[in-house]
Amino acid sequence: MHPKNLLGRRAAAALTTCVIVTFIAPALGAWAMPGEWYASLRKPSWIPPSWIFGPVWSALYLMMATAAWLVWRRGGWDIQRRPLVVYGVKLILNAAWPPLFFGLKMPGLAFAEILLLLAAIVLTALTFARVSRPAALLLVPYIAWVTFASILNFTLWRLNS
Protein backbone atom coordinates (compact mmCIF):
# COMPACT_ATOMS: atom_id res chain seq x y z
CA MET A 1 0.00 0.00 0.00
CA HIS A 2 1.27 3.46 -0.87
CA PRO A 3 2.31 5.48 2.23
CA LYS A 4 0.06 8.41 1.25
CA ASN A 5 -2.97 6.11 1.19
CA LEU A 6 -2.09 4.83 4.65
CA LEU A 7 -1.68 8.38 5.95
CA GLY A 8 -4.99 9.39 4.37
CA ARG A 9 -6.75 6.41 5.93
CA ARG A 10 -5.14 7.04 9.29
CA ALA A 11 -6.14 10.73 9.18
CA ALA A 12 -9.70 9.80 8.18
CA ALA A 13 -9.88 7.26 11.01
CA ALA A 14 -8.55 9.87 13.44
CA LEU A 15 -11.14 12.42 12.29
CA THR A 16 -13.89 9.84 12.70
CA THR A 17 -12.59 9.03 16.19
CA CYS A 18 -12.49 12.73 17.12
CA VAL A 19 -16.10 13.16 15.97
CA ILE A 20 -17.29 10.07 17.87
CA VAL A 21 -15.43 10.98 21.08
CA THR A 22 -16.66 14.57 20.89
CA PHE A 23 -20.28 13.56 20.38
CA ILE A 24 -20.11 11.20 23.38
CA ALA A 25 -20.28 14.31 25.61
CA PRO A 26 -23.80 15.32 24.56
CA ALA A 27 -24.86 11.67 24.47
CA LEU A 28 -23.88 11.28 28.13
CA GLY A 29 -26.01 14.27 29.11
CA ALA A 30 -28.94 13.32 26.88
CA TRP A 31 -30.87 11.70 29.74
CA ALA A 32 -31.25 15.17 31.29
CA MET A 33 -33.35 17.03 28.78
CA PRO A 34 -35.51 20.12 29.26
CA GLY A 35 -38.87 19.04 30.56
CA GLU A 36 -41.79 20.35 32.57
CA TRP A 37 -39.51 21.90 35.18
CA TYR A 38 -37.63 23.91 32.57
CA ALA A 39 -40.86 24.86 30.78
CA SER A 40 -42.20 26.25 34.07
CA LEU A 41 -39.21 28.55 34.68
CA ARG A 42 -39.47 32.29 34.27
CA LYS A 43 -37.30 33.21 31.30
CA PRO A 44 -35.86 36.47 29.99
CA SER A 45 -37.36 37.95 26.84
CA TRP A 46 -34.03 37.55 25.01
CA ILE A 47 -33.84 33.75 25.35
CA PRO A 48 -33.39 32.09 21.93
CA PRO A 49 -36.14 29.80 20.63
CA SER A 50 -35.68 26.20 21.75
CA TRP A 51 -35.26 24.91 18.18
CA ILE A 52 -31.97 26.82 17.80
CA PHE A 53 -30.05 24.87 20.45
CA GLY A 54 -29.81 21.58 18.53
CA PRO A 55 -28.35 23.03 15.32
CA VAL A 56 -26.00 25.38 17.20
CA TRP A 57 -24.64 22.63 19.44
CA SER A 58 -24.29 20.23 16.50
CA ALA A 59 -22.21 22.79 14.60
CA LEU A 60 -20.13 23.55 17.70
CA TYR A 61 -19.43 19.87 18.35
CA LEU A 62 -18.33 19.38 14.72
CA MET A 63 -16.00 22.38 15.03
CA MET A 64 -14.62 21.01 18.32
CA ALA A 65 -13.96 17.61 16.75
CA THR A 66 -12.27 19.21 13.77
CA ALA A 67 -10.10 21.33 16.07
CA ALA A 68 -9.04 18.25 18.07
CA TRP A 69 -8.24 16.45 14.81
CA LEU A 70 -6.11 19.36 13.58
CA VAL A 71 -4.12 19.16 16.81
CA TRP A 72 -3.83 15.38 16.54
CA ARG A 73 -2.47 15.75 12.98
CA ARG A 74 0.52 17.63 14.39
CA GLY A 75 2.14 14.54 15.89
CA GLY A 76 -0.62 12.28 17.14
CA TRP A 77 -1.42 11.34 20.70
CA ASP A 78 2.22 10.82 21.73
CA ILE A 79 3.25 14.38 20.88
CA GLN A 80 -0.06 16.20 21.50
CA ARG A 81 -1.12 14.39 24.68
CA ARG A 82 -1.35 17.57 26.83
CA PRO A 83 -3.69 19.61 24.59
CA LEU A 84 -5.80 16.53 23.87
CA VAL A 85 -6.12 15.71 27.59
CA VAL A 86 -7.18 19.32 28.25
CA TYR A 87 -9.72 18.86 25.45
CA GLY A 88 -10.98 15.66 27.10
CA VAL A 89 -11.42 17.40 30.46
CA LYS A 90 -13.39 20.12 28.67
CA LEU A 91 -15.62 17.47 27.11
CA ILE A 92 -16.31 15.99 30.56
CA LEU A 93 -17.25 19.42 31.90
CA ASN A 94 -19.47 19.95 28.86
CA ALA A 95 -21.23 16.64 29.54
CA ALA A 96 -21.77 17.54 33.22
CA TRP A 97 -23.82 20.69 32.68
CA PRO A 98 -27.15 19.23 31.41
CA PRO A 99 -27.47 16.76 34.32
CA LEU A 100 -26.76 19.54 36.82
CA PHE A 101 -29.19 22.01 35.27
CA PHE A 102 -31.97 19.87 33.81
CA GLY A 103 -31.53 16.61 35.73
CA LEU A 104 -30.83 17.83 39.27
CA LYS A 105 -32.62 21.15 38.67
CA MET A 106 -29.77 23.05 40.29
CA PRO A 107 -29.19 26.20 38.20
CA GLY A 108 -26.87 27.72 40.83
CA LEU A 109 -24.55 24.71 40.78
CA ALA A 110 -24.88 24.52 36.98
CA PHE A 111 -23.81 28.18 36.80
CA ALA A 112 -20.66 27.45 38.82
CA GLU A 113 -19.98 24.47 36.57
CA ILE A 114 -20.48 26.43 33.35
CA LEU A 115 -17.90 28.96 34.56
CA LEU A 116 -15.45 26.07 34.99
CA LEU A 117 -16.42 24.86 31.52
CA LEU A 118 -15.79 28.30 30.05
CA ALA A 119 -12.35 28.42 31.68
CA ALA A 120 -11.61 24.94 30.33
CA ILE A 121 -12.65 25.98 26.82
CA VAL A 122 -10.36 29.02 26.94
CA LEU A 123 -7.51 26.84 28.25
CA THR A 124 -8.19 24.35 25.44
CA ALA A 125 -8.09 27.14 22.86
CA LEU A 126 -4.82 28.44 24.30
CA THR A 127 -3.19 25.00 24.30
CA PHE A 128 -4.51 24.33 20.79
CA ALA A 129 -3.16 27.71 19.59
CA ARG A 130 0.37 26.58 20.41
CA VAL A 131 -0.12 23.67 18.01
CA SER A 132 -2.56 24.92 15.37
CA ARG A 133 -3.98 28.41 15.01
CA PRO A 134 -6.92 27.14 12.89
CA ALA A 135 -7.76 24.65 15.65
CA ALA A 136 -7.87 27.44 18.22
CA LEU A 137 -9.96 29.64 15.95
CA LEU A 138 -12.49 26.83 15.52
CA LEU A 139 -13.17 27.12 19.27
CA VAL A 140 -13.99 30.86 19.19
CA PRO A 141 -17.71 30.35 18.37
CA TYR A 142 -17.85 27.79 21.19
CA ILE A 143 -16.39 30.32 23.61
CA ALA A 144 -18.93 32.90 22.45
CA TRP A 145 -21.86 30.49 22.77
CA VAL A 146 -20.88 29.24 26.23
CA THR A 147 -20.33 32.82 27.38
CA PHE A 148 -23.88 33.58 26.24
CA ALA A 149 -25.12 30.34 27.84
CA SER A 150 -23.47 31.24 31.14
CA ILE A 151 -25.23 34.63 31.15
CA LEU A 152 -28.49 32.88 30.36
CA ASN A 153 -27.86 30.26 33.07
CA PHE A 154 -27.18 33.02 35.61
CA THR A 155 -30.31 34.91 34.56
CA LEU A 156 -32.51 31.81 34.82
CA TRP A 157 -31.06 31.05 38.24
CA ARG A 158 -31.68 34.57 39.54
CA LEU A 159 -35.18 34.85 38.01
CA ASN A 160 -36.24 31.57 39.60
CA SER A 161 -34.57 31.56 43.02
Match domain 3-159 to its CATH number in 1.10.8.420, 1.20.1260.100, 1.50.10.10, 1.25.40.10.
1.20.1260.100
Domain-wise residue ranges, the chain: 3-159
b (16+ CB within 10 A) / e for 90-109: bbebbbbbbbbbbbeeebee
Selected residue with higher pLDDT from 153 and 76:
153
**What is the rounded distance in angstroms from the CA atom of residue 93 to the CA atom of residue 31?**
16
DSSP assignment letter at 17:
H
CA 39 to mean position of chain CA atoms: 24
Rounded percentage of the chain residues whose pLDDT exceeds 90: 72
- Dump pLDDT digits (tens) for 51-107: 999 899 999 999 999 999 999 999 888 899 999 999 999 999 999 999 999 999 999
How far is it, in rounded angstroms, from Cα 161 to Cα 65? Answer: 36
